[in-house]
Structure 1
Amino acid sequence: MSIYLIADIKITDDGWVPEYATHVHDLVERHGGRYLSRSGNIETVEGEPGDSSLIAIILFPSREALDAFAADPDYAPFGKARQAGSVSTFRVIDDTDIAGTIPYLKAG
Protein backbone atom coordinates (compact mmCIF):
# COMPACT_ATOMS: atom_id res chain seq x y z
CA MET A 1 0.00 0.00 0.00
CA SER A 2 1.42 3.38 -0.98
CA ILE A 3 1.88 5.99 1.74
CA TYR A 4 2.02 9.76 1.35
CA LEU A 5 3.96 11.96 3.73
CA ILE A 6 2.60 15.50 3.80
CA ALA A 7 5.09 17.88 5.40
CA ASP A 8 3.66 21.30 6.25
CA ILE A 9 6.50 23.58 7.32
CA LYS A 10 6.72 27.14 8.59
CA ILE A 11 10.37 28.16 8.43
CA THR A 12 11.49 30.22 11.44
CA ASP A 13 15.24 30.16 10.74
CA ASP A 14 16.26 29.25 7.19
CA GLY A 15 19.85 28.24 8.00
CA TRP A 16 18.97 24.54 7.69
CA VAL A 17 17.23 24.78 4.32
CA PRO A 18 20.15 24.58 1.82
CA GLU A 19 21.70 21.43 3.33
CA TYR A 20 18.30 19.80 3.84
CA ALA A 21 17.19 20.54 0.28
CA THR A 22 20.49 19.25 -1.10
CA HIS A 23 20.74 15.98 0.84
CA VAL A 24 17.34 14.76 2.00
CA HIS A 25 16.08 14.07 -1.52
CA ASP A 26 18.74 11.35 -1.89
CA LEU A 27 17.77 9.86 1.49
CA VAL A 28 14.12 9.75 0.47
CA GLU A 29 15.09 7.94 -2.75
CA ARG A 30 17.28 5.50 -0.80
CA HIS A 31 14.11 4.33 0.96
CA GLY A 32 12.02 4.04 -2.21
CA GLY A 33 10.35 7.42 -1.85
CA ARG A 34 9.97 10.25 -4.30
CA TYR A 35 8.86 13.83 -4.00
CA LEU A 36 5.59 14.63 -5.74
CA SER A 37 5.90 18.29 -4.76
CA ARG A 38 8.09 20.54 -2.60
CA SER A 39 6.63 23.96 -3.08
CA GLY A 40 6.21 27.34 -1.46
CA ASN A 41 3.48 28.26 -3.95
CA ILE A 42 0.62 27.72 -1.51
CA GLU A 43 -2.82 29.15 -2.16
CA THR A 44 -5.78 28.69 0.15
CA VAL A 45 -8.99 28.15 -1.82
CA GLU A 46 -11.22 27.33 1.14
CA GLY A 47 -10.88 27.84 4.89
CA GLU A 48 -8.46 29.93 6.87
CA PRO A 49 -5.10 30.59 5.23
CA GLY A 50 -2.18 29.04 7.05
CA ASP A 51 1.27 30.48 7.53
CA SER A 52 3.23 27.67 5.91
CA SER A 53 6.45 28.46 4.08
CA LEU A 54 6.35 25.22 2.12
CA ILE A 55 4.49 21.97 1.78
CA ALA A 56 6.11 18.78 0.55
CA ILE A 57 4.29 15.65 -0.57
CA ILE A 58 6.40 12.51 -0.67
CA LEU A 59 5.26 9.12 -1.93
CA PHE A 60 6.66 6.00 -0.25
CA PRO A 61 5.91 2.43 -1.37
CA SER A 62 4.92 1.37 2.17
CA ARG A 63 4.70 2.55 5.77
CA GLU A 64 7.79 0.45 6.49
CA ALA A 65 9.76 2.41 3.86
CA LEU A 66 8.64 5.72 5.40
CA ASP A 67 9.56 4.52 8.89
CA ALA A 68 12.98 3.37 7.65
CA PHE A 69 13.58 6.82 6.13
CA ALA A 70 12.54 8.58 9.35
CA ALA A 71 14.78 6.29 11.44
CA ASP A 72 17.78 6.50 9.10
CA PRO A 73 20.77 7.76 11.12
CA ASP A 74 21.88 9.74 8.06
CA TYR A 75 18.59 11.71 8.23
CA ALA A 76 18.88 12.49 11.96
CA PRO A 77 21.04 15.65 11.71
CA PHE A 78 18.85 17.07 8.94
CA GLY A 79 15.68 16.31 10.88
CA LYS A 80 17.07 17.95 14.03
CA ALA A 81 18.10 21.05 12.06
CA ARG A 82 14.64 21.28 10.49
CA GLN A 83 12.94 20.91 13.85
CA ALA A 84 15.14 23.65 15.35
CA GLY A 85 14.48 26.05 12.47
CA SER A 86 10.80 25.48 11.77
CA VAL A 87 7.38 24.62 13.01
CA SER A 88 6.58 21.41 11.18
CA THR A 89 3.51 19.22 10.93
CA PHE A 90 4.01 15.87 9.24
CA ARG A 91 0.97 13.81 8.31
CA VAL A 92 0.74 10.36 6.76
CA ILE A 93 -2.12 9.14 4.61
CA ASP A 94 -2.52 5.98 2.56
CA ASP A 95 -3.92 5.45 -0.91
CA THR A 96 -7.42 4.35 0.10
CA ASP A 97 -10.90 5.84 -0.28
CA ILE A 98 -12.72 5.92 3.06
CA ALA A 99 -16.11 5.90 1.32
CA GLY A 100 -15.10 3.07 -1.00
CA THR A 101 -16.79 4.62 -4.02
CA ILE A 102 -13.82 5.68 -6.16
CA PRO A 103 -13.11 2.67 -8.39
CA TYR A 104 -9.38 3.24 -8.81
CA LEU A 105 -8.68 3.48 -5.04
CA LYS A 106 -8.82 0.66 -2.54
CA ALA A 107 -11.72 0.87 -0.09
CA GLY A 108 -10.49 2.22 3.22
Structure 2
Amino acid sequence: MSAYIVATVDITDAERFALYAKGIAGLAERFGGEPVVKGAVTEVLEGDIAVGQRVVVTRFPCVEDAKAYIASPEYRAACEHRKGAAAVAIRLLTA
Protein backbone atom coordinates (compact mmCIF):
# COMPACT_ATOMS: atom_id res chain seq x y z
CA MET A 1 0.00 0.00 0.00
CA SER A 2 1.44 3.39 -1.01
CA ALA A 3 2.11 6.00 1.64
CA TYR A 4 2.14 9.75 1.12
CA ILE A 5 3.90 12.39 3.15
CA VAL A 6 2.04 15.68 2.84
CA ALA A 7 3.84 18.71 4.23
CA THR A 8 2.49 22.23 4.54
CA VAL A 9 5.09 24.92 5.06
CA ASP A 10 4.92 28.60 6.00
CA ILE A 11 8.45 29.96 5.55
CA THR A 12 9.46 32.80 7.87
CA ASP A 13 13.23 32.87 7.23
CA ALA A 14 14.02 31.95 3.63
CA GLU A 15 17.80 31.97 4.07
CA ARG A 16 17.75 29.55 7.00
CA PHE A 17 15.06 27.41 5.38
CA ALA A 18 17.30 27.07 2.30
CA LEU A 19 19.83 25.21 4.48
CA TYR A 20 17.10 22.70 5.41
CA ALA A 21 16.08 22.32 1.76
CA LYS A 22 19.70 21.71 0.78
CA GLY A 23 20.03 19.10 3.54
CA ILE A 24 17.07 17.04 2.31
CA ALA A 25 17.65 17.44 -1.44
CA GLY A 26 17.41 13.96 -3.00
CA LEU A 27 16.99 12.27 0.38
CA ALA A 28 13.37 11.09 -0.05
CA GLU A 29 14.34 9.36 -3.29
CA ARG A 30 16.91 7.28 -1.39
CA PHE A 31 13.98 5.87 0.59
CA GLY A 32 11.88 5.17 -2.50
CA GLY A 33 10.10 8.52 -2.39
CA GLU A 34 8.71 10.03 -5.57
CA PRO A 35 7.70 13.70 -5.74
CA VAL A 36 4.03 14.14 -6.60
CA VAL A 37 3.56 17.88 -6.23
CA LYS A 38 5.52 20.78 -4.78
CA GLY A 39 4.36 24.35 -4.94
CA ALA A 40 2.65 27.31 -3.37
CA VAL A 41 -1.08 27.62 -2.81
CA THR A 42 -2.36 30.00 -5.48
CA GLU A 43 -5.96 30.27 -4.32
CA VAL A 44 -7.80 29.20 -1.17
CA LEU A 45 -11.13 27.64 -2.06
CA GLU A 46 -12.14 26.75 1.51
CA GLY A 47 -10.56 27.09 4.93
CA ASP A 48 -8.24 29.48 6.66
CA ILE A 49 -4.76 29.19 5.19
CA ALA A 50 -2.55 31.72 3.49
CA VAL A 51 -2.10 32.04 -0.24
CA GLY A 52 1.57 31.27 -0.75
CA GLN A 53 1.71 28.45 1.80
CA ARG A 54 3.88 25.73 0.32
CA VAL A 55 2.60 22.17 -0.08
CA VAL A 56 4.83 19.17 -0.75
CA VAL A 57 3.45 15.69 -1.48
CA THR A 58 5.81 12.72 -1.77
CA ARG A 59 4.69 9.14 -2.54
CA PHE A 60 6.52 6.20 -0.95
CA PRO A 61 6.11 2.48 -1.73
CA CYS A 62 4.95 1.79 1.84
CA VAL A 63 4.46 3.31 5.28
CA GLU A 64 7.75 1.84 6.53
CA ASP A 65 9.75 3.64 3.82
CA ALA A 66 8.03 6.96 4.56
CA LYS A 67 8.72 6.61 8.27
CA ALA A 68 12.32 5.56 7.63
CA TYR A 69 12.83 8.77 5.64
CA ILE A 70 11.44 10.94 8.45
CA ALA A 71 13.48 9.05 11.07
CA SER A 72 16.74 9.08 9.10
CA PRO A 73 19.72 10.81 10.70
CA GLU A 74 20.14 12.98 7.58
CA TYR A 75 16.54 14.23 7.76
CA ARG A 76 16.72 14.85 11.51
CA ALA A 77 19.96 16.82 11.08
CA ALA A 78 18.45 18.96 8.32
CA CYS A 79 15.45 19.70 10.57
CA GLU A 80 17.76 21.61 12.90
CA HIS A 81 18.06 24.28 10.18
CA ARG A 82 14.28 24.45 9.88
CA LYS A 83 13.77 25.47 13.50
CA GLY A 84 12.74 29.11 13.61
CA ALA A 85 12.69 29.26 9.81
CA ALA A 86 9.25 27.84 9.08
CA ALA A 87 6.04 26.52 10.54
CA VAL A 88 5.69 22.98 9.20
CA ALA A 89 2.98 20.33 9.49
CA ILE A 90 3.74 16.84 8.17
CA ARG A 91 1.04 14.25 7.63
CA LEU A 92 1.14 10.58 6.64
CA LEU A 93 -1.62 9.21 4.41
CA THR A 94 -2.07 5.73 3.00
CA ALA A 95 -3.86 4.70 -0.16
Q: Which of the five TM-score ranges fits, normalised by the shorter chain?
A: 0.7 to 0.9
Task: Say if 1:42 and 1:54, in contact at 8 Å, map to a contact too.
Answer: no
What is the total number of aligned residue pairs between the two structures? 94
**SS at the partner of 1:9?**
strand
TM-score calculated relative to the size of structure 2: 0.84
**Alpha-carbon offset, residue 17 of structure 1:** 3.1
After TM superposition, the structure 1 = structure 2 runs for residues 70-89 of structure 1, keeping only pairs within 5 Å, are: 70-89=70-89
After TM superposition, the structure 1 = structure 2 runs for residues 1-108 of structure 1, keeping only pairs within 5 Å, are: 1-48=1-48, 50-51=49-50, 53-95=53-95
Task: Say if 2:23 and 2:74, in contact at 8 Å, map to a contact too.
Answer: no
**Unaligned stretches of 5+ residues in structure 1:** 96-108
Task: Say if 1:5 and 1:92, in contact at 8 Å, map to a contact too.
Answer: yes
**Alpha-carbon offset, residue 55 of structure 1:** 0.7
Counterpart CA distance in 2 for 1:8 and 1:42 is 14
Task: Say if 1:16 and 1:78, in contact at 8 Å, map to a contact too.
Answer: no
TM-score calculated relative to the size of structure 1: 0.75
- Larger RCO (CA under 8 A, 6+ residues apart): 2
**Unaligned stretches of 5+ residues in structure 2:** none
**AA in 1 matched with 2:29:** E
Between stretches 32-41 and 12-21, larger displacement belongs to: 12-21
Superposed CA RMSD: 1.7
**AA in 1 matched with 2:20:** Y
